[in-house]
C-alpha cells in the first residue's frame, strides 16, 4: 500500500518493453504474437483491477471489449473518422458508459449471482452484435479496413503499420495503461478495493460505500476493455466479431489466473504463455486443435501448484529466498500485552470536534427485532450519555449482538427508533452511521486478513478522512493529510506498534482481537460499541485487555458487551442486563451485583456467590 520504491515497477516495465524488439526477434518470436500479447495484457489490466484487486469475477468483459472495439472500428471505417487515437478513446468512453450502466445492474448481486449476470450480459451483447446491430457491426463479417495510426509531425510522418512497426504504438499504449493502473492501485481507491476483496462487510462497517467503489472498479475494467478492443481492430486491420464471444471472456480469466491475479502484469504474462504455447504447439509441433489439451494440462498444473499464478509464484520464491514476509514471533509471547506500553494520549473522538449537541448521545426507543417467529429484541428503551462507559450483560441468546447490530444499522429494527447525537438514524445504512461516528467491533473478528496491521488500520482511517466515497484514484496515500498520524496513534492505542507490517494471518489471537478493536477505533468514533472484546482470551490476556480498554475509554463514550462480568463490573459505570430480548434491569455494578432479579432470573441463582465476591 505504502510503496517503498514508487517508480521501480514503472522503470522495469519501460525497460522490458524497450528491450523486447531488440531481444525477441533473436528468439524467433513472431511480432504479431507479441503485439497480440500486448493487447491482451492491456485488456487484462482493467480486469485484474476488477477481479484481482476487488475480488469481482466477471465473465462479461467481452461485452466491453467488443463495444469499444466496434465503436472505434465503426468510426474509423464506415464513419470515415480520421483520427485513430481519438476513435480508440471514444470507444473506451462508450465502453465505460456501458460498463457503468451494466454495473449498476450486475452489482446488485454478489458472488455466483453476480458472475451469472455477467455471463448473461456477455451472451446478450454477442447476440445483439450479430443480429439487431449487424448493419453497423458487420455481423459475422466484422468491420474490415480499420486503419493503423500515423502521426504527422510536420517534418516527417510516424507510421505504425504492422508487426514490429506497430509494436511501439501498442507498447506505449500498454505502458500508459500500466502506469495509470499502478497509480490507481496505490491510491486510496485502490486500498479500499483491496479491502472490499478481503472483507466487504467490514469495509462497509468502517464507513466506505462499497457499492460505489465496486462500480468504480467495474467501470475502470470496462474502459480498459474498450480501449483494448479498439486496438484489436487496429492490430488486425479489421474488427472481428469474435471479440464479443464468451470465449474471449474465458480466455482473459484463464490468462489472468495463469499469470497471477492481483499483480496487474499477470494477464500479460498469462497471455504470453497462452499465445507462445499456441504458436509453438500448433506451428512447430503441428498439434492442430489438440494444443488446447496441452494448454488445459498446463493450466491445471499451474492452478494446483502456483495458486497465485506465475507472478505470485515468483513473489513467493523471492520472499522465501530473502526471508521477506517471514513470520515474526508475537511479542506477547515474551512480554505482557501492555505492561511495557508507554501511555498514549487519547485520540480525539468526533464529538470533541463537532460537539454542540447537549442531549443524550444515543437514545433507542421501543427497539424490537423479529426474525420470523424468533423475537431477538423487544421494546428496548436505552439511553447513553456522552462520556459514559456502559456494560451490557445477558445470557447466551439474550439478544445483545442483535441489539448492537440494530444500533449500528447493520440490520433494520422491526419497530422502534434510534436517535444518535440528536439525529434519527433508524433505517440508515451502516456506512452512513459509521460516517456519523457510531461504529462497533465484532464478536467474531472481521479483519482484512491478507493485509498487514497498518494496512487494516489505514482502511478504517481513510473512511473518516475521506468520507464514504471519493474518486481520488490518482492520489497517493502519503498525501492524505493526517492519515499516517491517525494510523500510528491507533497502533499505539491498541498496542500493536511493534507489529505494523505483520500480515493479519500471522498475528496471535490476542493481537487479532486488539486489531479488531483498532479497526473500530481508527475512525475515531463518538460512540464505540465493543461486542465481546474479551471473547476467547486467556485469563492473563483478559486482565491486560481490560487495562487496554480502560486507557481507550479516556474521553470516549463506549458500550461493551461481554460475558466476563468481573471485567465489566470493573470497567463500566452502569450495566444493562438483557434477558430474552428485553431489558431486565439497569444500574451501577453494585446494584446489579446485589439485584435479586439478576441473580434469580438471569443466573438462576447459580452464580450468586460469584456475583457477591
Ligand atoms: P451470545 O451471547 O451467544 O452472542 P446474544 O445475546 O448476542 O447471544 P443474539 O445473537 O443477539 O444473542 O441472538 C438473539 C436471538 O436471536 C437468538 O435466539 C438468535 O438465535 C436469534 N437470531 C439472531 N440473529 C438471527 C438471524 N439472523 N436470524 C434468525 N434468528 C436470529
User: Angle, nearest 10°, between helix axes 291-305 and 266-279?
Assistant: 150
- At residue 1, the pLDDT reads 59
Choose from 146-160, 254-268, 289-303 the range with maximum mean pLDDT.
Answer: 254-268
**Cα dist from 212 to 57, 170, 225, 233, 611, whole Å:** 17, 32, 20, 32, 50
**Whole-prediction pTM value?**
0.89
> Is 90 exceeded by the pLDDT of residue 561?
yes
156 grid coordinates:
516527417
Residue 397 Cβ contacting ligand 1 at under 6 Å: yes
Residue 376 Cβ contacting ligand 1 at under 6 Å: yes
Which H or E run contains 419?
strand 415-420
The predicted-structure confidence for 94-118, as pLDDT tens digits, reads as follows 999 999 999 999 999 988 999 999 9
Beta bridge pairs of residue 392: 561, 576
> Of the ranges 306-315, 317-326, 532-541, 556-565, which one carries the lowest mean pLDDT score?
317-326
Percent of the chain residues past pLDDT 90, beyond the cut: 62
Distance (angstroms) between ligand 1 centre and the Cα of 368 equals 13
- At residue 358, the pLDDT reads 74
Whose Cα sits closest to atom 2 in ligand 1?
A: 396
Q: What is the arithmetic mean of pLDDT over 469-492? A: 92
Give CA–CA dist 491/442, Å, rounded: 18
Q: What is the arithmetic mean of pLDDT over 461-470? A: 94
Q: Report DSSP letters for 150-204, one per residue.
A: EEE-SS-EEE--SHHHHHHHHHHHHHHHHHHHHHHHHSHHHHHHHHHHH-HHHHH
Distance (angstroms) between ligand 1 centre and the Cα of 375 equals 9
Give CA–CA dist 511/504, Å, rounded: 9
Distance (angstroms) between ligand 1 centre and the Cα of 601 equals 19
Whose Cα sits closest to atom 11 in ligand 1?
A: 399
> Of the ranges 166-180, 272-286, 371-385, 565-579, which one carries the lowest mean pLDDT score?
272-286
DSSP 3-state assignment of 574?
Answer: strand
Distance (angstroms) between ligand 1 centre and the Cα of 403 equals 9
- At residue 609, the pLDDT reads 43
- At residue 339, the pLDDT reads 37
Q: What is the dihedral of CA 25, 31, 35, 36, to 10 degrees?
A: -120
- At residue 429, the pLDDT reads 95
> Is 90 exceeded by the pLDDT of residue 60?
yes
Instruction: Write down how long the chain is.
Output: 613
- At residue 2, the pLDDT reads 53
> Is 60 exceeded by the pLDDT of residue 199?
yes
- At residue 38, the pLDDT reads 97
Strands 415-420 and 423-424: antiparallel
Residue 527 Cβ contacting ligand 1 at under 6 Å: no
Residue 197 Cβ contacting ligand 1 at under 6 Å: no
- Contact at 8 Å (CB) between 185 and 55? no
Local confidence band at 20 (pLDDT 50, 70, 90 cut-offs): very high
The predicted-structure confidence for 328-368, as pLDDT tens digits, reads as follows 444 444 334 443 344 445 455 554 444 566 789 999 999 99
Q: What is the arithmetic mean of pLDDT over 160-175? A: 93
Local confidence band at 46 (pLDDT 50, 70, 90 cut-offs): very high
43 grid coordinates:
485488456
Q: Report DSSP letters for 364-408, one per residue.
A: EEEEEEEETTEEEEEEEEEEE-TT-EEEEE--TTSSHHHHHHHHT
Give CA–CA dist 210/107, Å, rounded: 10
- Residue 600 per-residue DSSP state: I
- At residue 530, the pLDDT reads 95
> Is 70 exceeded by the pLDDT of residue 307?
yes
Residue 369 Cβ contacting ligand 1 at under 6 Å: no
Q: Report DSSP letters for 292-330, one per residue.
A: HHHHHHHHHHHHHH-TTHHHHHHHHHHHHHH-TTPPPPP
Closest C-alpha among 44, 36, 61 to residue 243: 61
- Cα 333 to chain centroid, rounded: 32
- Contact at 8 Å (CB) between 361 and 438? no
User: Angle, nearest 10°, between helix axes 31-48 and 61-76?
Assistant: 120
Residues 6+ apart with CB under 8 A from 196: 54, 55, 203, 208, 210, 213, 214
Q: Name the residue of 368, 399, 582 to mutate for ligand 1: max ligand atoms within 8 A of Cβ.
A: 399
Whose Cα sits closest to atom 28 in ligand 1?
A: 371
107 grid coordinates:
452489482
- Contact at 8 Å (CB) between 130 and 139? yes
Residue 402 Cβ contacting ligand 1 at under 6 Å: yes
DSSP 3-state assignment of 24?
Answer: helix
Closest C-alpha among 179, 180, 191 to residue 480: 191
Distance (angstroms) between ligand 1 centre and the Cα of 72 equals 56
Strands 362-371 and 415-420: antiparallel
Which H or E run contains 239?
strand 238-239
- At residue 316, the pLDDT reads 83
The predicted-structure confidence for 398-438, as pLDDT tens digits, reads as follows 899 999 999 999 999 999 999 999 999 999 999 999 999 99
First CA to last CA across the chain, in angstroms?
50
Q: What are phi and psi of 206, to 5 degrees?
A: -90, 0
Whose Cα sits closest to atom 27 in ligand 1?
A: 371
DSSP 3-state assignment of 610?
Answer: helix
- Contact at 8 Å (CB) between 572 and 589? yes
CB atoms within 10 A of CB 44: 33
Which residue would you say has higher pLDDT here, 602 or 71? 71
> Is 80 exceeded by the pLDDT of residue 510?
yes
Whole-number mean pLDDT of the chain?
A: 88
Residue 392 Cβ contacting ligand 1 at under 6 Å: no
Local confidence band at 612 (pLDDT 50, 70, 90 cut-offs): very low
- Residue with C-alpha cell 469481482? 56
Give CA–CA dist 342/130, Å, rounded: 70
Residue 405 Cβ contacting ligand 1 at under 6 Å: no
Q: What are phi and psi of 528, to 5 degrees?
A: -110, 125
- At residue 601, the pLDDT reads 61
Choose from 121-130, 300-309, 329-338, 568-577 the range with maximum mean pLDDT.
Answer: 568-577
Local confidence band at 603 (pLDDT 50, 70, 90 cut-offs): low
**Cα dist from 264 to 49, 221, 423, whole Å:** 7, 12, 44
Which residue would you say has higher pLDDT here, 43 or 347? 43
Residues 6+ apart with CB under 8 A from 180: none
Amino acid at each position: 500500500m505504502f510503496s517503498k520504491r514508487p517508480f521501480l515497477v514503472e522503470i522495469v516495465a519501460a525497460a522490458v518493453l524497450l528491450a523486447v524488439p531488440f531481444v525477441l526477434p533473436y528468439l524467433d518470436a513472431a511480432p504479431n504474437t507479441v503485439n497480440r500479447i500486448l493487447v491482451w495484457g492491456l485488456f487484462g489490466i482493467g480486469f485484474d483491477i476488477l477481479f484481482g484487486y476487488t475480488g469481482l469475477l466477471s465473465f462479461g468483459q467481452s461485452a466491453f471489449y467488443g463495444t469499444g472495439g466496434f465503436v472505434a472500428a465503426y468510426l474509423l471505417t464506415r464513419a470515415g473518422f480520421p483520427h485513430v487515437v481519438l476513435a480508440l478513446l471514444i470507444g473506451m468512453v462508450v465502453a465505460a458508459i456501458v460498463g457503468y450502466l451494466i454495473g449498476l445492474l450486475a452489482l446488485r448481486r454478489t458472488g455466483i449471482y453476480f458472475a451469472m449476470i455477467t455471463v448473461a450480459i456477455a451472451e446478450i451483447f454477442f447476440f445483439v452484435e450479430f443480429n439487431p446491430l449487424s448493419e453497423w457491426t458487420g455481423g459475422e463479417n466484422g468491420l474490415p479496413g480499420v486503419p493503423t495510426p500515423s502521426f504527422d509531425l510536420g517534418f516527417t510522418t510516424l507510421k505504425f503499420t504492422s508487426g514490429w512497426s506497430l509494436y511501439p504504438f501498442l507498447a506505449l499504449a500498454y505502458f500508459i495503461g500500466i502506469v495509470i493502473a499502478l497509480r490507481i492501485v496505490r491510491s486510496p481507491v485502490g486500498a479500499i478495493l483491496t479491502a472490499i476483496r478481503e472483507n466487504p462487510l467490514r469495509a462497509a462497517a468502517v464507513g466506505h460505500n462499497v457499492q460505489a467503489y465496486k462500480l468504480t472498479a467495474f467501470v475502470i475494467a470496462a474502459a480498459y476493455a474498450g480501449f483494448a478492443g479498439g486496438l484489436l481492430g487496429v492490430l488486425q486491420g479489421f474488427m472481428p466479431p469474435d471479440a464479443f464471444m464468451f470465449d474471449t471472456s474465458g480466455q482473459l480469466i484463464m490468462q489472468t489466473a495463469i499469470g497471477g491475479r492481483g499483480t496487474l502484469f499477470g494477464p500479460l504474462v498469462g497471455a504470453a504463455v497462452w499465445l507462445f504455447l499456441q504458436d509453438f504447439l500448433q506451428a512447430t509441433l503441428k498439434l492442430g486443435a489438440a494444443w488446447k489439451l496441452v494448454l488445459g494440462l498446463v493450466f491445471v498444473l499451474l492452478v494446483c501448484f502456483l495458486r497465485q499464478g506465475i507472478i505470485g509464484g515468483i513473489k513467493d520464491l523471492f520472499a522465501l529466498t530473502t526471508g521477506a514476509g517471514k513470520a515474526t514471533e508475537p511479542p506477547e509471547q515474551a512480554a505482557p500485552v501492555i505492561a511495557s506500553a508507554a501511555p498514549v494520549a487519547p485520540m480525539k473522538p468526533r464529538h470533541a470536534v463537532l460537539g454542540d449537541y447537549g442531549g443524550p448521545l444515543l437514545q433507542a426507543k421501543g427497539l424490537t427485532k423479529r426474525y420470523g417467529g424468533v423475537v431477538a429484541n423487544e421494546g428496548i428503551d436505552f439511553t447513553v450519555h456522552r462520556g459514559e462507559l456502559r456494560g451490557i450483560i445477558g445470557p447466551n441468546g439474550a439478544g445483545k449482538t442483535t441489539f448492537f447490530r440494530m444500533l449500528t444499522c447493520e440490520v433494520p429494527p422491526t419497530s422502534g427508533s434510534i436517535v444518535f447525537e440528536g439525529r434519527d438514524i433508524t433505517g440508515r445504512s451502516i456506512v452512513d452511521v459509521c460516517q456519523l461516528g457510531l461504529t462497533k467491533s465484532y464478536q467474531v473478528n472481521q479483519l482484512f486478513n491478507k493485509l498487514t496491521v497498518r494496512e487494516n488500520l489505514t482502511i478504517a482511517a481513510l473512511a473518516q478522512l475521506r468520507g464514504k466515497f471519493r474518486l481520488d484514484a490518482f492520489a497517493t496515500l502519503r498525501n492524505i493529510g493526517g492519515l499516517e498520524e491517525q494510523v500510528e496513534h491507533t497502533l499505539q492505542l491498541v498496542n500493536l506498534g511493534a507489529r505494523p507490517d505483520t500480515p493479519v494471518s500471522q498475528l496471535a489471537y490476542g493481537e487479532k482481537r486488539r486489531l479488531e478493536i483498532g479497526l473500530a477505533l481508527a475512525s475515531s468514533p463518538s460512540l464505540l460499541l465493543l461486542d465481546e472484546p474479551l471473547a476467547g482470551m486467556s485469563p492473563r490476556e483478559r486482565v491486560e485487555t481490560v487495562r487496554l480498554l480502560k486507557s481507550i475509554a479516556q474521553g470516549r463514550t463506549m458500550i461493551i458487551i461481554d460475558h466476563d462480568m468481573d471485567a465489566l463490573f470493573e470497567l463500566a459505570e452502569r450495566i444493562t442486563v438483557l434477558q430474552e430480548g428485553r431489558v431486565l434491569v439497569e444500574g451501577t455494578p453494585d446494584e446489579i451485583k446485589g439485584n435479586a432479579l439478576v441473580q434469580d432470573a438471569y443466573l438462576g441463582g447459580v452464580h450468586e456467590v460469584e456475583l457477591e465476591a
